[in-house]
Structure 1
Amino acid sequence: MSSDTNLKDPTVLHKVARVVHAWKRESSMLQMVTSFISKPQSIQAADARQHTVWLFDNTAYQLPAATTSKQVSWRAEVVACAFRKNSRRDITKLVAMIADLIGLDGEMGTDKETRHRITERLQPFLFHTASAHLMTLETPLPNSTIQMQKIGPTDDNGISSQTISANSKHIKDGTKIRSYLRGWGNQVFMDTIFAGPEGWLVVSDIDDTIKYTKTSESTGILRTTFVEDPKPIAGMPQLYAHIQNQLVPVWFYVSASPYNLYPFLHGFLGAYFSPGTMILRDSSWLDISELVKSFTVNTREYKVDRGEKIYGWFPKRQVLCIGDSTQQDPEAYAELYKRHPHWIQAIWIRKVTDVPHLDEQNSPERFKTAFAGIPEHVWRVFEQPAEVHHLVAELKSSSRQAQSPKQGLVNPKNLPPPPKDRSIDGAEISRSSLGYVNMRPAKPQSTTMDEQTFVPPTMRALYFSPASTAVTDHSSMNEPRMDSHVKFDTDFQTPIPSGNDYLVKVKAAAFSHDELRLSNILNPSKSIPQIPLHSFCGTVISTPEKDHWNPDGPKFKVDDAVFGLIKHTRDGAAADYVIVSEDELAYKPKNVSAAEAATIPMPALTAWEAIFKYAGLDTTDIKLDRQQLRVLITNARNNEVGLQALQLLRSHKLFPHSRPWICATCDAEDQEDCLRKEYNVDATIFAPLPLPHDYDLGSIFRKNRWDPVDVVLDCAGQQMFEQAHSPKVIKEHGAVLTAVDSTPAEARNPLEDDEPRKDGVLSRFILVSPNGEALSQISELVEADEVRGRVESIKDLVDGGRSTPLQITNDMVEE
């Protein structure tokens, strides 16, 4: 028997597909073309004014403790979905056409209430998902503290799914806590039920098990999903209430529905059944014709996969599985039982007799085949819920006997060892009370270290503690919040990488290029990273899941030494571990220490962008260009960006034919010899800071008969930046760039405007961003001894909270 249900009326499905495709053609074509030609979206914070966000209710589980005195750790998978607001057009015509196609015209299709219901349920399928967005979760704990947790970024389907922890001894088994999305008031929230490792657990299907859906017919699916009020299967609410009273289980509702239906199904469950975690398919079906496929295609594989996930959370619980005969519930539950016979205690299948064309699905042969090899007392097929009411008491009784040592029914010494946990792909997983040990086979071409590196659930970190009150549109973003502070923590949650990220063990992270002072500029307002220091060096611990089984494996392998710059809208590297993406990394230069390597990415990439992005030079053509480039760098000796720019401009690899003319300013006369001897500048200018009132940079150029320069890289500040715009200093169509202060540049050119002013001069603050390709070239220059970093002092991570970061340059938090 196929794992896919055969639909009896495919013509309706095809008609709906044509209608939806016609309606969406205009907007989706533009979206598709844009996705091909545009750069990947930058990560940013979700905004209540621009986005709709859903948080899914969940269930927290406990990691086992190594000893009875060890505090247990609670963990929970947090699922959030983000959509763009107003990402749909008027759908009145579409609603009418769908109503007509599924046979409502003349019956219910003209009823205003019905059409409103169709519109309301159809809209989530037409929202455009919001990928690459971050959010902050606020969880009030029983000890009157609030736990803050960053979630995201969302993937291409607009989904963020990650595991977070709560190490609170005040949370007891059975506790229910409501968490809120920070900055969204009380509008967006989720409920978490904290469940201990032992007791009962129910895995229940939804459609045609407890909710009338008619999943064997496409017309039935469309009617019950978009038109009719949701109806429970007669007798099932009473049965589930009886189970709740007798077994007090944890509830998991596993449905093949797409997550677009979460609000609809959540309301249905809240009205008729016990609260629990709803697990839905994680694809956004923007085409509602795909909805039918979600209910019918590969449901067995999907439910086995989700069952394995639940087993990983609650391997010691006793499980009752409840499903129906329309889909592949018997086969899915049977497979789970064969994998974990000690876990599943009973399987109940509702034989659906109120939907036509189910003779094959309801045949005795089907059930005998599905449950072959499984004891008959374990599985039961029923038509009326009353048939299995008495079985609840039997399950409760058998559970008591199993727990009672006086009965002599359970002899731990004679029990076989419990089966090993298995991941989705069947690879063995060994769980540890202090963290997790990934026992998957080594990834392709990752031969230096097996994926068995111990990663603890918590780590040391230096972080900004957010204010306890939510940020609003009226909050000042330029002044620190009164109740926020920098803190060193030994129990910060270790980040868990998504399928596209690397996990790196940090060796060194740098206070470089005034990062904290410039954070308001480098990090857009209201974004939410907590950990500072984005220029770092470390060792790869794990690689993206998407690359695990590629023939060539991931670009960076486990145990590779890397360095990089993390995007400033994400957490930095002032911690034991950090999550990074591939475009933020390059191989660490082999000829420098980790501390020196960490000082390089941020200032070097800033200088690189000044020369090759804003000044308009092309690294592919510059080696063939024999025209001399003229550059002025202010305060070059005292600024890391200035020093990196000097080294790049003197690189023989970058400029093999034409040596740039460099003029550098300095604020001490003894620096002039250093600039000429060490960095081979062609001219120097004494410019004490702050500049004297009568200082005139243009007059100095005229007095020395110097021609105007192509590029000014200002590392001094507003006074020098303004004087650099003199036509005696900068050529027409030149670029005056600043690395230290965005205010004067913003007055001339807004940050989002890359076009030069009317006089032809581009004024710009250098908004540095990660660039793995450029960093790789910089790494080669370091190994060729053409570029070096500068380390002034090294401090251990534990001393970071006692330091005053704004008074430190290039401090390493750990080496």
Structure 2
Amino acid sequence: MKALVLSRYGKINNIRFADIPRPVPKPDEVIVQVHAAGLNPIDTMIPKGVFKPIISLPLPCTLGSDLAGVVVEVGVRVTRFKPGDAVFASTFDIGMGALAEFAAVPDDVVAFKPSNLSFIEAASIPMVGLTSWQALKVRANLQPGQRVFIPAGSGGIGTFAIQLAKHLGATVGTTTSTGNVDLVRSLGADEIVDYTKQAFEDVLKNYDVVLGTIRGDAIEKSVRILRPGGKIISLVGPPDRVFAQARGMNFLMRFVFGLLSRKIIRLGRIHGAEYSFLFVQPDGEQLGEISNLLAGGRVRPVIAKTFAFEKANEALAHLETGRAKGKVVVEIASNV
């Protein structure tokens, strides 16, 4: 079968198409014929080796972490799915890539595709949906009437997280450029800061939760807008000691991550706020809950652009520009 494979870390020309064996299911896996694969910013960073200290991938490996398709084979212990089922899943951090004609996926990270979504729409959801769910609903325990700041509202995470936060009853603040104000407002954003004209830390105040989605000094600035007792949940780092412990890292890595996060943790404490780093985990049960929201029209996918499978490298390059409004998706047509 055809797959987009990373052979070595470092350069873009180390990403190429290759013919690799079609996977055979383990007892608790399903084989999915992939119809579409959603791209995420981490898919452009992994090939550079940015996440080598955190994610151990045996090279060569298939890239991609979000998929939607049809089950064609199941392992002997799988009872929830059968051939012919339309499904979607995140394969992030489990050593299995989505940019291939077929993928072997553990059944506990798979959910049924919402019937009202196309495969392209469904493939855009898993990572951003699970990240938003785990950050806002699980870790932040966001409650009706609370205020949450979700910067970069027109991006992949932002477009979903705004909708989920509104579903949970929160007031949402966000940042975007002038041309995307109407988009984020249509998703439910209440306070919109045009970052080309204003600094969010000069406009927003008394927020309960900040979802860190932008690298640089944005997270440190966001401390200023939090009320005492607020929470910063960062998706972009710095990783902290608690994260290193949860992944079973050695003492050295725990020490290093403790150093990296020391400044933001100290700033948070000064303002009475709590900092934590979130690394999304695939979860079929949570994805099923998200599927119900999608099926009920309470949240909707936002697609920036769709690329053919043979243009997957171009899709990654487009994503890396940072100008995508919503998600970039690769449509995959199998030869089998």
Q: Does 1:752 align with 2:241?
A: no
What residue is the counterpart of 1:810 in the other structure?
A: 328
What residue is the counterpart of 2:294 in the other structure?
A: 782
What residue is the counterpart of 2:229 in the other structure?
A: 733
CA contact (8 A) 1:523 1:569 kept: no
CA contact (8 A) 2:233 2:276 kept: yes
Between the aligned partners of 1:585 and 1:761, the Cα distance in structure 2 is 35
1:685–1:795 CA distance, 2 compared to 1 (3 A):
closer
Give the aligned residue type for 1:671. N
Give the aligned residue type for 2:194. F
What residue is the counterpart of 1:496 in the other structure?
A: 24
Between the aligned partners of 1:712 and 1:788, the Cα distance in structure 2 is 22
Q: Does 1:588 align with 2:113?
A: yes
Aligned positions of 1:231-270 closer than 5 A: none
Of 172, 179, 194 in structure 2, the residue corresponding to residue 662 of structure 1 is 172
Give the aligned residue type for 1:463. V
CA contact (8 A) 1:508 1:594 kept: yes
C-alpha RMSD over aligned residues: 2.8
Give me the TM-score of the superposition, normalised by structure 2. 0.81
What displacement does 1:498 show?
A: 1.3
Give the aligned residue type for 1:752. A
Between the aligned partners of 1:522 and 1:766, the Cα distance in structure 2 is 17
Q: 1:14-60: per-residue Cα shift (whole Å, max 9, x none)?
A: xxxxxxxxxxxxxxxxxxxxxxxxxxxxxxxxxxxxxxxxxxxxxxx
Indicate the SS of the match to 2:288. Answer: helix
1:680–1:811 CA distance, 2 compared to 1 (3 A):
closer
1:518–1:713 CA distance, 2 compared to 1 (3 A):
farther
Between the aligned partners of 2:33 and 2:53, the Cα distance in structure 1 is 24
Of 632, 635, 643 in structure 1, the residue corresponding to residue 159 of structure 2 is 643
Q: Does 1:791 align with 2:303?
A: yes
CA contact (8 A) 1:600 1:788 kept: no
1:528–1:569 CA distance, 2 compared to 1 (3 A):
farther
What displacement does 1:696 show?
A: 5.4
Indicate the SS of the match to 2:163. Answer: helix
CA contact (8 A) 2:175 2:200 kept: no
CA contact (8 A) 2:43 2:316 kept: no
Give the aligned residue type for 2:170. P
Q: 1:379-401: per-residue Cα shift (whole Å, max 9, x none)?
A: xxxxxxxxxxxxxxxxxxxxxxx
Indicate the SS of the match to 1:811. Answer: strand
Between the aligned partners of 2:231 and 2:51, the Cα distance in structure 1 is 20
Q: Does 1:541 align with 2:59?
A: no
1:674–1:567 CA distance, 2 compared to 1 (3 A):
closer
Instruction: Give the gaps of 5 or more residues in structure 1.
Output: 1-458, 467-478, 548-553
Between the aligned partners of 1:661 and 1:800, the Cα distance in structure 2 is 37
What displacement does 1:749 show?
A: 5.8
What residue is the counterpart of 2:103 in the other structure?
A: 578
Q: 1:51-105: per-residue Cα shift (whole Å, max 9, x none)?
A: xxxxxxxxxxxxxxxxxxxxxxxxxxxxxxxxxxxxxxxxxxxxxxxxxxxxxxx
Instruction: Give the gaps of 5 or more residues in structure 2.
Output: 247-257, 259-263, 320-326
**Higher share of residues assigned helix:** 2
What displacement does 1:593 show?
A: 0.6
Give the aligned residue type for 2:39. F
- Identity within the alignment, %: 23
Aligned positions of 1:381-420 closer than 5 A: none
Aligned positions of 1:36-55 closer than 5 A: none
CA contact (8 A) 2:43 2:64 kept: yes
Give the aligned residue type for 1:807. H
Q: Does 1:461 align with 2:3?
A: yes
Aligned positions of 1:197-216 closer than 5 A: none
Between the aligned partners of 2:130 and 2:55, the Cα distance in structure 1 is 22
Between the aligned partners of 1:731 and 1:682, the Cα distance in structure 2 is 18
CA contact (8 A) 1:536 1:564 kept: yes
Of 168, 177, 180 in structure 2, the residue corresponding to residue 671 of structure 1 is 180
What displacement does 1:763 show?
A: 2.5
Q: 1:143-166: per-residue Cα shift (whole Å, max 9, x none)?
A: xxxxxxxxxxxxxxxxxxxxxxxx
What displacement does 1:608 show?
A: 1.0
Between the aligned partners of 1:527 and 1:509, the Cα distance in structure 2 is 19
Give the aligned residue type for 2:14. H
Question: Which has the bigger relative contact order, CA under 8 A and spacing at least 6?
Answer: 2
What displacement does 1:750 show?
A: 5.8
Give me the TM-score of the superposition, normalised by structure 1. 0.35
What residue is the counterpart of 2:193 in the other structure?
A: 685
Between the aligned partners of 2:97 and 2:80, the Cα distance in structure 1 is 22
1:770–1:671 CA distance, 2 compared to 1 (3 A):
same
